Chains A and B, each alone.
Chain A
Amino acid sequence: MLGKLTWSAIPFDQPIPLVAGGVVIVALLAVLIWVVVKGHLPYLWREWITSVDHKRIGVMYVLLASVMFLRGGSDAILMRIQQAIAYQSQGYLPPEHYNQIFSAHGTIMIFFVAMPFVIGLMNLVVPLQLGVRDVAFPTLNSVGFWLTATGALLVNLSLVIGEFARTGWLAFPPLSGLVYSPGVGVDYYAWSLQISGVGTLVAGINLVTTVLKLRTRGMNYLRMPMFCWTTLASSLLMVAAFPILTATLAMLLLDRYLGFHFFTNEAGGNVMIFMNLIWAWGHPEVYILVLPAFGIFSEVVSTFSGKPLFGYRSMVLATMAICVISFMVWLHHFFTMGAGPDVNAIFGIASMIIAIPTGVKIYNWLFTMYGGRIRFTTPMLWSVGFMVTFIIGGLTGVLVAVPPADFILHNSMFLVAHFHNVIIGGVLFGAFAGFTYWFPKAFGFRLDERWGKAAFWCTFIGFYVTFIPLYAAGMLGMTRRMQHYDVAVWRPWMIVAVIGMAILTMAVVCQVVQLVVSIRNRESLRDRTGDPWDGRSLEWATSSPPPVFNFAISPDVRGEDAYWEMKAKARQQQFAHAQPEYQDIEMPRNSPTGFVCAFFASIMGFALIWHIWWMVILGLIGAWATFVVFAWRDHDEYVIPAADVARIDRANIEERRNLVSLAGSV
């Protein structure tokens, strides 16, 4: 009846996951009860859960990423403490538990923190920057988000029901095959990635279509803000790369569930093809993450330097070059697999070539700052911190891309330091820069600068104190993923690293405090104009938060830095612009399709993991029926009358005018 699921699936004998899981469940229940008792449920359902508004969905993506960041961060703390004390001893985490923690940490940080964070920011900002009212497929957008949430839910469920994979975040066979991993851990891993992978693919398709097809009047390709370009490149990579991941995991699942032998050497399969395919997705994936971050830095640097982005066209070219070259380097993740000198040399050189467009970008940012009137706000600090940190990470990347060097450094702590260097210094700094930069746009008030800066400095210093020691330990021969060790020279570095982890923890605390303090002081931090930073692109041309329809009148773009030029013109004309003619606006109706689909997908995923076949069928039929109902709906749009549009827009224009005349800077 319940497949493999029995009471023994709940780890009563392991206090750490049980207590952690218990605390989370209690907290969730408390929030849920509070929501219901306070009567917020209808509001949440109407305004958020069923919302197809790209801004709301973007916010929910970022919220999901933030929550999962706390989970992934806790894993990191556990691992750093283990390695600090497990010198000539077993530490406090038994091996099978330690292995689950590093696997869950990697999986969560990449798929459920970095991905939703950048997808969320793209969702929130790109339609605004393009001057349009929504993404190309609003309901699909909601489906994509909720499927991602399903994946996250399943990963967290493994904490209390069953176990998670012990295979590392990429689950290489034969270790992830049935022989070595008979439990449900790998199944949790694979099904949550399969389900959230559909969500990512959908998000990619949606964003590509939005950028290609929905631009406002005059917004031709070479007038798009840089962030739209990097979104395009990143989403193209999502569309091209995620199917490879899906197919690879599907083969692994066929091996595990139906006795196929894609990856069993003894039965005519080949484990190496898994490595090959997963990295054919894996390397593009790192650029899926970092390209949007590059876009964020481009926006932030040019805004806070008060200058147009230096070398805009070279930046576009570099972005698209990275997009293509990132598909030509994947072998650098398995130089040591033995493909021989020819293959290794070619892929090694290709990997070094990708550093060139990245270098072009760094110089462009530097020249954008050069001669500008720089304001060192929190987003700008993240950007400058990124430039310094990412250069180091890029350099060590080029180093491990040299095959002979990689034969020594592969799978060492040096490698661990490299990719944290680029992912924290690149993606995470970018996400935080974007978060503080666009927060006022999403919520209508700025974040507290003091706590924001404290968070930056703690992250910045904490990062170096944690990860420079890992470079050192790697060069001393320490391999990755060690539950305990007996080499005395590694010990001091592990102790320094755990101190760094403490500083990073303080950084997270600062972020939380920043949020709380800002919400408390929201009245004094209020952004009434919609343009708190003196911005340059169209998202600042509407109010904060923007109305559902984003723009009362579709903007007409005449050049790069569209909003900057509008402002300049408005100043010249003393704001004496003609009364615009407002029209009715059609907006897509909210739809529970995404949520219901994901509900059934969760049931199906859980049932697949535990081999509860009747429940699999139930989930499948449910998800299918939801889709059919959606496809047959009649009314998918509603109309906002011109009068309402006019009222909302005039109020915003009035605010802007007041503020400018108050400041007397006309």
Chain B
Amino acid sequence: MSELSDHSDTSFAPGDEGEHDVGARVLGYVIGLALALLLTATSFFVAGTTLVWQPSIPVALIVLAIAQMGVHLVFFLHITTGPDNTNNVLALAFGLFIVFLVVGGSVWIMSHLNQNMPPMDQIMRMQ
């Protein structure tokens, strides 16, 4: 059915671009793999280290995780900003937006759940 879709728009599915030669593509994957491994190793290192200020560890892990997602999107899922990628970028934006709404909303809701409860010491005194 590809002869139909050619007319409607020109964007490709991730990994379906086809125009690069094999060597360039393999190189892309190798770079991606190396970066992904590097980020993973760093995460493991950071998690166990005593060299840095301890409260910064969770923040560092979050940053590394987000970088990891970026590497996957660019090198393995081939998200680019080119005009042939509009659908993919829009889909990603939609996904991020929903994740933001659901996660952000849940955190906000859950952190307010005890609003209508008397403070803990009051409960203790009542017993």
Chains A and B belong together in one complex:
yes
Give residues in A with beta carbon < 8 Å to B. 132-134, 212-220, 236, 240, 244, 270, 272-273, 276-277, 280, 324, 327-328, 330-331, 337-343, 554, 586
Using A270-B110, A340-B112, A554-B4 as known contacts, say yes or no to A213 and B102 having CB atoms under 8 A apart. no
- CB contacts (< 8 Å) of B9 on chain A: these are 213
Using A212-B87, A240-B94, A328-B105 as known contacts, say yes or no to A338 and B1 having CB atoms under 8 A apart. no
- CB contacts (< 8 Å) of B117 on chain A: these are 338
- B112 smallest CB distance to A (angstroms): 4
Using A213-B87, A276-B109 as known contacts, say yes or no to A338 and B5 having CB atoms under 8 A apart. no
B113 in contact with A330 (CB, 8 Å): no
A273 in contact with B106 (CB, 8 Å): yes
Q: Which of B8, B87, B105, B106 has the most CB of A within 10 A?
A: B8
A-B contact pairs, 11 of them (CB 8 A): A213-B13, A213-B87, A216-B4, A218-B7, A240-B95, A272-B110, A327-B101, A327-B102, A328-B101, A339-B113, A343-B108
- CB contacts (< 8 Å) of A328 on chain B: these are 101, 105
Using A328-B101, A339-B112 as known contacts, say yes or no to A276 and B106 having CB atoms under 8 A apart. yes
- A280's nearest neighbour on chain B, judged by CB, is B102
- CB contacts (< 8 Å) of B8 on chain A: these are 213-217, 219-220
- B91 smallest CB distance to A (angstroms): 8
A213 to B16, CA, bound (A): 13
Q: Which of B11, B102, B117 has the most CB of A within 10 A?
A: B102
Known: A215-B4, A324-B97; 19 extra A-B contacts, CB below 8 A, are: A133-B1, A133-B4, A134-B1, A212-B87, A213-B8, A214-B5, A216-B7, A217-B4, A217-B7, A217-B8, A327-B101, A328-B101, A338-B115, A338-B116, A338-B117, A339-B112, A339-B115, A340-B112, A340-B115
Q: Is B98 an interface residue (CB 8 A)?
A: yes
- B1 smallest CB distance to A (angstroms): 6
Using A212-B87, A215-B8 as known contacts, say yes or no to A280 and B105 having CB atoms under 8 A apart. yes
- CB contacts (< 8 Å) of B105 on chain A: these are 280, 328, 330-331
- CB contacts (< 8 Å) of B95 on chain A: these are 240
- B88 smallest CB distance to A (angstroms): 10
Q: Which of B4, B106, B113 contacts A280 (CB 8 A)?
A: B106
- CB contacts (< 8 Å) of A327 on chain B: these are 98, 101-102
Q: Is B50 an interface residue (CB 8 A)?
A: no
Q: Is B81 an interface residue (CB 8 A)?
A: no
B102 in contact with A244 (CB, 8 Å): yes
Which residues of B, 32-64, contact A by the 8 Å Cβ criterion?
none
Which residues of B, 80-98, contact A by the 8 Å Cβ criterion?
87, 94-95, 97-98
Which residues of B, 11-42, contact A by the 8 Å Cβ criterion?
11, 13
Using A217-B7, A327-B101 as known contacts, say yes or no to A339 and B1 having CB atoms under 8 A apart. no
A97 to B101, CA, bound (A): 39
- A346's nearest neighbour on chain B, judged by CB, is B108
Q: Is B114 an interface residue (CB 8 A)?
A: yes
B5 in contact with A213 (CB, 8 Å): yes
A338 in contact with B87 (CB, 8 Å): no
- A130 smallest CB distance to B (angstroms): 9
A551 to B98, CA, bound (A): 37
- B25 smallest CB distance to A (angstroms): 21
- A235 smallest CB distance to B (angstroms): 12
- CB contacts (< 8 Å) of B108 on chain A: these are 343
- CB contacts (< 8 Å) of A586 on chain B: these are 1
A214 to B5, CA, bound (A): 5
- CB contacts (< 8 Å) of B13 on chain A: these are 213
- B99's nearest neighbour on chain A, judged by CB, is A240
Q: Which of A132, A217, A272, A341 contacts B113 (CB 8 A)?
A: A272
A327 to B102, CA, bound (A): 8
A244 to B102, CA, bound (A): 9
- A410 smallest CB distance to B (angstroms): 14
A216 to B6, CA, bound (A): 9
Using A240-B95, A554-B4 as known contacts, say yes or no to A343 and B109 having CB atoms under 8 A apart. yes
A280 to B110, CA, bound (A): 13
